[in-house]
A and B are shown apart, each in its own frame.
Chain A
Amino acid sequence: MRRLMEGVFVTKIIKTYVLPLLIVAGAGLSLWSSQYEAPVFWYQPVVSTVDKPVLYQENLIPNAETPTMHSVSVADCTNGDLLAVWYGGTREGHVDVALYSARYDAKNGQWQAPKKILDRYQVANDTHHYIKKLGNPVLVNHPSGVMALVYVSVSLGGWATSQINMMLSYDEGQTWHASKQLKVTPFINISTLVKNDAVIYQDGSIGITAYQELIGEFSEIIRVNLDGTVINKYRMSDGDYTIQPSVVVQGPMKAVTLMRDSSRHTQKVQITSTDDGGYSWQPYESLPIDNPNSAIYGFEDSQARIWMVFNNATRDRDVEHEARANLALAYRNTEHEDWKIVHYFEQPETQEQETHRYSYPWVHQSAAGEIHLLYTENRHQFKHVMFNEAWLETLL
């Protein structure tokens, strides 16, 4: 009886005095957290190579002995080499899909043999989650010298229920630290994917250019620090078929984003812009440029022109493969000028070539000013086209 009375007394003390104190303590801890500045892009003007000799070279990344390979991403190494990461396996979405990397030796102009860097078992070990399959990787060159790899994984369902993970390398991709799963949506953390390059903010945080495609299909920037803690999210479009954003930073506060049109209606490249470091974005608009629901990549040159690599076609259900049979290059001088298509990296000339598919372009501008374009060819190999601004000038 005495023990019962004591128990009742303790419970009463907890309910009356401890509970409200803990609520206030929780509030104090919640408000006492790291503060980050408003977003300001880390912007480095593009090195001009206009006065240099014209450069245009084509190369291939050797196949990692996987039946398919797709979604290549590239970053710079300090000695001028490039590091590429992609996913490969029996087919897209298969359980044997793993992430592979290869290094481009800038001295002899050759890609080295690929090596497997991550499979779903390793991710599961690192994150203590069941992982069903892996998807798109995105390499990020951080100004501190750290290389980050953000990649898609799926535990439940298809790509629309993807999650994103991040891991770091302190030796330019030779070894990787354990992955961390980023918590970015309230809906069992699903529906986030990545495809294109991230942006860096002046405080060192990374803006992952992501998109959702579970219910609404829209683009957003997920701002994270190097620990993999999500700091904030900035929505670029609402849920209306605008995915795979490619952000072209044009100044500390200014950027333009080109987006893939995932609808069956408009089939045009979508565009939006920001003037406040990506905190808010203008309502997006359709460009008079066709897009067959395929990936786009934008980049800027030293004269602030924006260039875009894309498949110049619309989508037709019956001949879907033809929609990605070409790969075009377009540019615009200023915001008020129209886009002009000036070159085709791939264009079918024979009936046989029309069955070829070129997709998922990735453009990397090296510190020396060289521009590297990599894209998937028939999901069997990656083409690597290296050019410079002097070559771009010849197209104008």
Chain B
Amino acid sequence: MSALFGLLGHALLIMAIMLKLLQTRRWKRYWPIPYLLAAVVVVLPANHWLVLEFSRGYLSDLSMATVLICVTAIMNQVRPQPVKLSNGFYLALLALGVVLYPATMGMSMNDPFVLGYSTAHYYWLFVVAVVAFGLVAWWRQIYLLATYFMLALLANGLDIYSSGNLWLYLIDPIAMIIAIWVLVARMIYFCYMAAKTKWFSDKHEVQVNTHA
């Protein structure tokens, strides 16, 4: 059963990448064709394995963060108004990654990854913290962030990957890389727009002064 969910996650990942590469929005009323092509690539056999199994072999099972990013990316290809994941969502991923990865790879004797096992001393506190973040996100009406925490908690509760660790449902390196990429891109865009606005307002001011 865990393999089924694991493979399903990678099917979504490959679909999202393929649809992006195929520029699905440009196909307009022929949009089912790129979806069909992407679905074929997912189950394409290559040297004893499916593309799907290669992906799972290289990247292991995907966290709910990556699954949510992939689902929104797939849906956005046909939605008139794309759903935009908030900065809060990506900042949450970044914060989780910064807390988890350095220490867990041997920076110190403290291993925060252990907190995700149900036998850990403060596991309940970790679960309560995730619930609190989820409820705060819901209360602040950041629904996709709340959905992310909900998916991670449900997947962990049902242990769909047979991994037994809440961290594995919360974050993976792919989600972390996407979060860094998106946040940097948005920051550059914000700075560019701010500079552009300032340049136009300065120019307008100069023109007003000249006329005066």
Contacts and interface: CB of A to CB of B under 8 A. Distances in A.
B57 interface: yes
Interface in B66-116: 100-101, 104-109, 111, 113-114
Interface in A129-185: 129-132, 155-156, 163, 180, 183, 185
B105 A214 contact: yes
Contact of B114 (A27, A131, A233): A233
B32 interface: no
B153 A215 contact: no
B60 to A, nearest CB: 4
B163 to A, nearest CB: 4
Given A124-B48, A183-B164, A230-B164, A155 B119 contact: no
Nearest to B47: A130
A342 B57 CA distance: 47
Given A127-B3, A187-B101, A23 B117 contact: no
Contact of A212 (B105, B146, B154): B105
Interface string B126-143: 011011001100100101
B59 interface: yes
Contacts of A252: none
A25 B154 contact: yes
Pick from A121, A214, A232 the residue with the most CB of B within 10 Å. Answer: A232
Interface string B11-25: 000000000000000
Contacts of B171: 186
A187 B100 CA distance: 10
Interface string B29-52: 000000000000000000011000
B114 A29 contact: no
A216 B105 CA distance: 6
A28 B157 contact: yes
Contacts of B131: 23-24, 26-27
A229 interface: yes
Contacts of B114: 232-233, 235
Interface residues of B, number: 62
Interface string A208-222: 000010111110100
A257 B175 CA distance: 37
B162 interface: yes
B42 to A, nearest CB: 13
Contact of A30 (B49, B101, B156): B156
Nearest to A217: B106
A32 B59 CA distance: 29
A55 B114 CA distance: 45
B162 A238 contact: no
Contacts of A238: 106-109
Given A30-B153, A215-B105, A238-B106, A232 B120 contact: yes
A196 to B, nearest CB: 19
Nearest to B153: A26
A124 B117 contact: no
A30 B58 contact: no
A231 B153 contact: no
A177 to B, nearest CB: 15
Contacts of A4: none
A361 interface: no
B9 to A, nearest CB: 12
Contacts of B104: 185-187
B105 A232 contact: no
Nearest to B155: A26
Contact of A19 (B6, B143, B161): B143
A33 interface: yes
Q: What are the 8 closest A-B residue pairs judged by CB atoms, nearest first?
A: A216-B106, A29-B157, A239-B106, A26-B153, A130-B57, A183-B163, A155-B57, A189-B60
8 contacts: A20-B146, A30-B127, A130-B56, A130-B58, A183-B168, A185-B113, A186-B113, A186-B171
